[in-house]
Homo-oligomer: A and B are copies of this chain.
Amino acid sequence: MATVESLATGQRSLGDTRIGYPLWPPLTSGCPETSSTEIAYPVDVDYDYDRIPDGPLTPDRFPALLPPLAAEGLGEGGTPLVELEPGVYLKDESRNPTWSHKDRLNRCTVSAAVGVGAPGVVVASSGNHGASAAAYAARNGLPCVVITGPAPAPQVVTFLRAYGAVVLPVPWERRWPVMRRIADRGGLHPVSSTTVTHTGHPFGPEGYKTIAYEIHQEIGTPTAVFLPTGYGELLYGVWKGFAELERLGLADRVPRMIACEPAAAAPLVEALRSGVPAARVDVGPTAAYSIVSQVSGYRGVLAVRSSGGRALAVDDGQLRSAQTELARSGLWVELSGAAGLAGLRGGGPLDGPVVCVTTSSGFKDPIGSSAPLPAMSGEWSDVSRQMKAAGIDV
């Protein structure tokens, strides 16, 4: 449990910011007053910023700007910022308890489940989100149901079941109805989105604000932050964290938020282009399974617009190049997790220090079929030949 008290005061509609709600219960289906059958607006958490003491926002003080942390944690956050080259930093989120950024979110969403006394949590996920939710549920003694697609990869199933999650492979078209039913009638707390456009859990993006606090503590405010983007929760949370630092007088500006989506489906690019709060697009083939998304959410639009940022579409070739560049620098990230660097290399702004958030470990991708290993006798002539073939002269 956190020793510093949360200063969260309530929830506010992002569809109409004049509309406020109490902090409890968390509105897991977005803002009821402004949402329609076409577009759902999320709610956001408000804080009593006037009560934040002066001085640097050190990690021991983060809980004041988070929802009440009723759930026990697993040591999430505090990830390193690794300098890739002068002025280009990587925020390596694979160093979290389940080796992705999702742990920061699920500390907050499972805290909401504990806070409302839910008998368990339910999540629709293709991997990282589900495993992270399952880990935090396990840590707090709650069952977790993960609704996957009809044929989840074996390593995803192993990962989810390790934490004791119940894995339900459901046909795609039944995914959201099942999710909503388990939440509405079963009473399990939903920690992923249940709405027509993405709203997600109101407490979720709050957990990502600490990424901004940590970056700021190490290097101040960068010029831009490049982020792998699916539904835009990470994007919004990091933006909100920087916006709070500015509001508290600890920073004089926010960085440009650069959302990096798979080109196979880039709903935020489309929403920004067409000027709508959220868009729905066709989904093409991509290996970036963790961030490919048919639909966006209004949070992404807010973060990009408010920061003077951009949304970029990166194709699988760019993702693979970025993934290889990172691994050859010592950091092996999931293909989806390389989207930030892919965006930077694809022509993002380069002036001043920039941060690429690398969200997850390379172990999250399916094991590819790599070139076969040579059959080796182990005789020296044999070893020497293999090394020469690899360019190492001995």
A120 within 8 A of B: yes
Q: Determine which of B173, B181, B331, B370 lies in contact with A161 in the assembled complex, contact meaning CB atoms within 8 Å.
A: B370
Which positions 119-172 of chain A face chain B at CB distance < 8 Å?
A: 119-120, 135-136, 138-139, 143, 145, 150, 152, 154-155, 157-159, 161-164, 166-171
Assuming A168-B376, A186-B394, A377-B171, is B178 touching A383 (CB within 8 A)? yes
Assuming A138-B329, A185-B394, A368-B158, is B99 touching A92 (CB within 8 A)? no
A51 within 8 A of B: no
A74 within 8 A of B: yes
- Are B181 and A383 in touch, CB under 8 angstroms? yes
- Are B328 and A154 in touch, CB under 8 angstroms? no
- Are A331 and B169 in touch, CB under 8 angstroms? no
Classify chain A: how many residues form its interface, as a range: 35 or more
Q: Determine which of B79, B163, B173, B186 lies in contact with A387 in the assembled complex, contact meaning CB atoms within 8 Å.
A: B186
Q: Which residue of chain B lies nearest to A332 when distances are taken between CB atoms in the complex?
A: B162
Residues of B within 8 A of A154 (CB): 367, 370
Q: Determine which of B143, B152, B367 lies in contact with A155 in the assembled complex, contact meaning CB atoms within 8 Å.
A: B367
Residues of B within 8 A of A362 (CB): 159, 162
- Are B386 and A168 in touch, CB under 8 angstroms? yes
Residues of B within 8 A of A164 (CB): 327-328
A365-385 CB mask vs B (1 if < 8 Å, else 0) is 001101001111111100100
Q: How far is the CB of A371 from chain B (nearest CB, A)?
A: 8
Q: Which residue of chain B lies nearest to A168 when distances are taken between CB atoms in the complex?
A: B386
Q: Considering the chains assembled together, what is the distance between the CA atoms of A373 and B148 in angstroms?
A: 11
Q: Chain copies in the assembly?
A: 2
Q: Considering the chains assembled together, what is the distance between the CA atoms of A378 and B135 in angstroms?
A: 25
A94 within 8 A of B: yes
A363 within 8 A of B: yes
Q: Considering the chains assembled together, what is the distance between the CA atoms of A143 and B370 in angstroms?
A: 19
Q: How far is the CB of A138 from chain B (nearest CB, A)?
A: 5
- Are A167 and B74 in touch, CB under 8 angstroms? no
A98 within 8 A of B: yes
- Are B373 and A169 in touch, CB under 8 angstroms? yes
- Are A80 and B78 in touch, CB under 8 angstroms? yes
A305 within 8 A of B: no
Assuming A181-B383, A182-B387, is B361 touching A99 (CB within 8 A)? yes
Residues of B within 8 A of A79 (CB): 75
Q: Determine which of B159, B178, B186, B376 lies in contact with A169 in the assembled complex, contact meaning CB atoms within 8 Å.
A: B376
Residues of B within 8 A of A143 (CB): 390-392
Q: Which residue of chain B lies nearest to A172 when distances are taken between CB atoms in the complex?
A: B378
A82 within 8 A of B: yes
Q: Considering the chains assembled together, what is the distance between the CA atoms of A211 and B327 in angstroms?
A: 26
- Are B98 and A332 in touch, CB under 8 angstroms? yes
- Are A99 and B99 in touch, CB under 8 angstroms? yes
Beyond A135-B331, A168-B383, A182-B394, 16 extra complex contacts between A and B, CB < 8 Å: A75-B95, A94-B99, A99-B99, A135-B332, A138-B330, A139-B329, A143-B391, A145-B392, A158-B367, A162-B327, A170-B383, A173-B378, A178-B378, A182-B383, A186-B394, A361-B363
What are the 6 tightest A-B residue pairs by CB atom distance, in nearest-first order? A75-B80, A174-B378, A186-B394, A139-B330, A363-B363, A135-B330
5 A-B residue pairings within 8 Å (CB atoms): A135-B332, A143-B390, A163-B328, A166-B387, A188-B392
